[in-house]
Amino acid sequence: MAGPSRKTGIPREQLSAHLGGELIGTLLEEISGIFAKDWAKPVVDSIAGVIALGYGIYGKNVDERFRRELLQMGEHLALRALELIRTPAFSNKLKDFASHLATGDVGGALSLMIKTPNEVLATLGLGASSSQVTTSQAVATVTTAVPITPPPPPPAPVVQQKKSEVY
């Protein structure tokens, strides 16, 4: 980094932290692309970016270089929200996601966001194995990991009998 630092006049530590933050941000984008469906990927990236920015700005006892990397990575990822503006299908997917959650269908909501094992394998270029996992199996696995208990039923109404009806 000494050569580019001399050429640009940017201190080597600052240039290195900038490059490190961009590299980490790009790697995190690639990882989220493996597991998150297309419409959800910018959401996941933006949330990670906001968390990194928050820690970079407000974190206590954070090394200066790491703070610079967090800020660069956070900016890189948080700006992925701009991808959402250009995606007309995003609002429809978000409405579908919210309606699944509103009806208590967490599995359905997660299946809109998270790729199935076969989709992950396809993303990695590994193709489906002979023991393919169906979407319903994948959703069942996820929903058993996140147990949702329905609210208890309302109490039964109390019926009072008149004294004249009691024998």
Q: pLDDT at residue 67 above 70?
A: yes
Q: Tell me how far apart the alpha carbons of residues 77 and 86 are, in angstroms, rounded to a whole number.
A: 16
Query: The tokens 């820690």 sit on which residue?
Result: 55
Percent of the chain topping pLDDT 90: 10
Quick: pLDDT tens for 74-122.
988 888 777 776 667 787 888 888 899 999 999 888 888 889 888 888 8
Closest CA to 48 of 20, 78, 71, 22: 78
Q: What is the pTM for the complete model shown? A: 0.63
Q: Tell me how far apart the alpha carbons of residues 155 and 100 are, in angstroms, rounded to a whole number.
A: 27
| CB-CB contact of 69 with 91 (8 Å) | no
Quick: pLDDT tens for 130-150.
455 555 555 555 555 555 666
Quickly state the pLDDT bin for 5 (edges 50, 70, 90): confident
- Grouping H, G, I as helix, E, B as strand and the rest as coil, residue 114 is strand
